[in-house]
Amino acid sequence: MHLFELVPNLSEGRNDTIIDDAVEAVEATGARVLDRSSDAVHHRSVLTIVGDGDSLVRAALALARIARERIDLRTHSGLHPRIGALDVLPFVPLREAPMAEAVELARSAAQAIWEREGIPSFLYGEAALIPQRRLLANARRDGFEGLPARFARNDRPDIGDIAAHPSAGAIAVGAREMLVAWNIELQSEDLAAGKAIAAELRERNGGLPGIRALAFRLEDRRVQLSFNITNYRATSPLQLRRSAEAAAAKRGIGLGNGELIGLVPRAALDDAIVEFFALE
């Protein structure tokens, strides 16, 4: 039996009861929730779930139902980009589990969600059917509000024959390797500088390998850098922190607190552990 991780992102970060119910629904399927993280400003919650393939597909269905019944994107606003109430649904192979099986699970879950809940899906990462959608940002482009226009220009979901569910939108369902989600605050209110730092560090702009980056303004006017480290073997969190410090220092800005979202592989922290404890 192979084990997988499921890391759903729900477009709800302010109502703890909804997330409590989502956790309960997941654990009723036999899957196990290892971590939950909610952010009111981004209006988003992230769960880290583990289980075998069958239990995780059941968990995906349970989450899609909660999202459809309890989250209405027509009245939703938050900092984070989103196309759906259940916005992102990646399947991640653990240990010796093959990526091909994670791809099959992702596509099966997307099909089952469409058949049972009427929510369409864009497939991304290793599960993508269209090469341009391997990148999550392309699968989720233009947000919930832009889904009808995408449908009209034939940029349609991979699963489902409507532009979007009226209140739940669509889902980006994928298969990928483990990643590290890390937010770092700037000691500055300069959003333009934050966006420039994010652009400098982002892999697709010629920056660090495996780094995806955005910059947001928080409610108290602080600026936050939001990173996904998609290949922590190529760029560790410690290496990213040092590069962010250097990019910010060039602009006369210091870094503030950091925040990990979800769990992080132990191997991603090896160089930081060696340095912190002065190990040889």
pLDDT of residue 28: 98
Read off the pLDDT of each residue in 158-175 and give the average, rounded to a whole number. 98
pLDDT in tens, 129-138: 999 999 999 9
Q: Indicate if the pLDDT at residue 165 is higher than 70.
A: yes
What percentage of the chain carries pLDDT values higher than 90? 89
At residue 279 the predicted structure's pLDDT band, cuts being 50, 70 and 90, is low
- 3-175 and 180-276: same fold? no
Q: Distance (Å, rounded) from C-alpha 135 to C-alpha 34?
A: 26
Domain 180-276 falls in which CATH fold?
Answer: Alpha-Beta Plaits (3.30.70)
Mean of pLDDT over the chain = 95
Q: Above 70 in pLDDT, residue 115? A: yes
Where are the chain's structural domains? 3-175, 180-276
**Would you identify the CATH topology of the domain 3-175?**
Formiminotransferase-cyclodeaminase; Chain B, domain 1 (3.30.990)
Q: Residue 139 has what pLDDT?
A: 95
CB-based contacts of 39, cutoff 8 Å, min separation 6? 13, 45, 80, 261
Classify residue 192 as left (phi > 0), alpha (psi -120 to 50) or beta. alpha
Residues carrying an active site annotation: 80
